Amino acid sequence: MWYFGGVFGLATLALWIFCLVDVITAPEGSHRNLPKFGWLLLVLVLPLIGSLLWLVAGRPQTATPRHPGAYERTTPHYPEYNRPGRFAAPDPAADEDFLRRCRERAEQQRRQARDDTADS
pLDDT digits (tens, 9 = 90+) for 13-56: 899 999 899 888 888 877 788 888 888 899 999 988 998 988 88
Spell out the SS3 assignment of 55-98: HHHHCCCCCCCCCCCCCCCCCCCCHHHCCCCCCCCCCHHHHHHH
Query: What pLDDT band is residue 79 in, cutting at 50, 70 and 90?
Result: low
Q: CA 67, CA 13: separation in Å to the nearest integer?
A: 30
Q: Which residue has the higher pLDDT, 39 or 66?
A: 39
What's the pLDDT score for residue 69? 62
DSSP structure class, residue 86:
S
Burial class (CB in 10 A: 0-12, 13-18, 19+), 75: exposed
Contact 78, 102 (CB under 8 A): no
The pLDDT of residue 107 is 95
Query: Is the pTM value of this prediction over 0.75?
Result: no
